[in-house]
Amino acid sequence: MSPSRIRRALIAAAALLGSVGAGAQGTYPDRPIHITVTFTPGGAPDILARLIGERLATAWGQAVVVDNRPGAGGNIGSEFVAKSAPDGYNLVLGTVGTHAINGSLYPKMPYDMVRDFAPVSLLATTPNMLVVHNGVPAKNLQEFIALGKREGKMSFASSGSGTSIHVSGELFKSMTGIDMQHIPYKGRASALPDVLGGRVTMMFDNMPSSLPLVREGKLRALGVTSAKRSAAAPDIPTIAEQGLPGFDAVSWFALFAPAGTPRPIIDKLQAEVSRMFKTPEVNRRLTELGLDPVAGTPDELAAYQRTEITKWAKVVKDSGAKAE
């Protein structure tokens, strides 16, 4: 075949693929959508996924199934979506861990945090909250730091290696000089009972899962990890204002599709997420949980992710954090 005929054949094939993609977009979604949550039920990623799923199902008349695929700091579920067909029917509720931290922490990653995904929207951010069981005698952060330096080794739980919960603890360890042992769990659902029971000293948990326990008096909050106090709990001081200036570790949650997903599908998803996040009821629900709604554009998420990867790579290196 001559070069000109090859060129014409390629052009025709591209046009055909374009028409197929346009047709797929025109009917999307015509079957159930699956949102993978890379951690166990009950935490902020799960809450967000189920809220979004309910709203998408109502708006589009298609079922939205939330699949919990925990393990390896979120890598198992993220890998599943990264290797799924790029058709908009398999999405992942990504976190700062799965899409900004793990690449620096794990010596071998099963996916590329940037190249293997198409950003849809940053959804929400939240501080982590330093919580201890009620048997800990310290009533504030300075007393807790003094206690740790006086008594020696402490333990801190996390929902898995690479999560912001884990790395917040590593940052605290490096800034205070306290000898702290990291104890990773398969999710906060299994970690929190050990904190409540005093088998683990502390945890830097996301606010949506620990704030209710603090309000019920079952855990004691010693500080939040954000640079500013949370509107959901303005009475809880930041760690930075209690003697560790510069301490800033915010969790975030975002929606990603597999790389190669057609941009019209990405834009349709983002537009619906943005619409639902502007409704008073959704906004109020997220704020009550301690989540700050964002719902940005795909390009804004891509830019934010790049800055977060750089930031957390330095924290991992400086703290000596390891995947366990």
Confidence of residue 289 (pLDDT cuts 50, 70, 90): confident
pLDDT given for residue 13 in this prediction: 43
- CA–CA gap between residue 12 and residue 18 (Å, rounded): 10
Judged against a pLDDT cut of 50, whether residue 266 lies above it is answered with yes
- Percent of the chain residues topping a pLDDT of 70: 92
Give yes or no for a contact between 117 and 256, defined as CB atoms under 8 angstroms apart: yes
Q: For residue 187, what pLDDT band results from cuts at 50, 70 and 90?
A: confident
Length of the chain counted residue by residue: 324
Q: Where are the alpha helices (DSSP H) in the chain?
A: 3-27, 44-60, 75-82, 96, 102-105, 141-151, 164-176, 188-196, 207-215, 263-277, 280-288, 298-319
Q: Is the peptide bond before 29 cis (omega within 30 degrees of 0)?
A: yes
pLDDT, residue 287, reads 86
323: Cβ contacts below 8 Å, ≥ 6 apart? 73, 102, 105, 106, 107, 161, 162
Task: With cut-offs at 50, 70 and 90, classify the pLDDT of residue 206.
Answer: confident
Which DSSP string do the residues of 152-204 spell out, in sequence order? --EEEEESSTTSHHHHHHHHHHHHH---EEEEE-SSHHHHHHHHHTTSS-EEE
For residue 5, the model assigns a pLDDT of 43
106-155 pLDDT, tens digit per residue, is: 999 999 999 999 999 999 998 999 999 999 999 999 999 999 999 878 99
In the chain, what are the domains? 30-126+250-319 (3.40.190.150), 127-242 (3.40.190.10)
pLDDT given at position 26: 67
DSSP summary character for residue 243: T
Q: What is the mean pLDDT of residues 50-59?
A: 96
Read off the pLDDT of each residue in 187-212 and give the average, rounded to a whole number.
Answer: 91
Would you say residue 218 has pLDDT above 90? yes
Mean pLDDT of 79-101: 97
Strands 117-133 and 90-95: unpaired
Average pLDDT over residues 70-96: 96
The average pLDDT across 275-301 equals 92
Statement: residue 1 has pLDDT above 70 = no
Helical residues (DSSP H) of 38-187, grouped into ranges: 44-60, 75-82, 96, 102-105, 141-151, 164-176
Could you tell me the pLDDT band of residue 67, with boundaries at 50, 70 and 90? Answer: very high
Q: What is the arithmetic mean of pLDDT over 182-192?
A: 88
**pLDDT in the model for residue 203:** 97
| pLDDT on residue 163 | 85
**Per-chain mean pLDDT for the chain:** 89
- At residue 9, does pLDDT exceed 90? no
The per-residue pLDDT for 92 is: 98
Whether the pLDDT of residue 8 is over 90: the answer is: no
Look at residue 22 in the predicted model and tell me its pLDDT: 44
Which of the four pLDDT bands, split at 50, 70 and 90, describes residue 21?
very low
- Predicted local confidence at residue 11, as pLDDT: 39
Q: What pLDDT band is residue 226 in, cutting at 50, 70 and 90?
A: very high
Q: At what angle do helices 207-215 and 188-196 cross, to 10 degrees?
A: 30
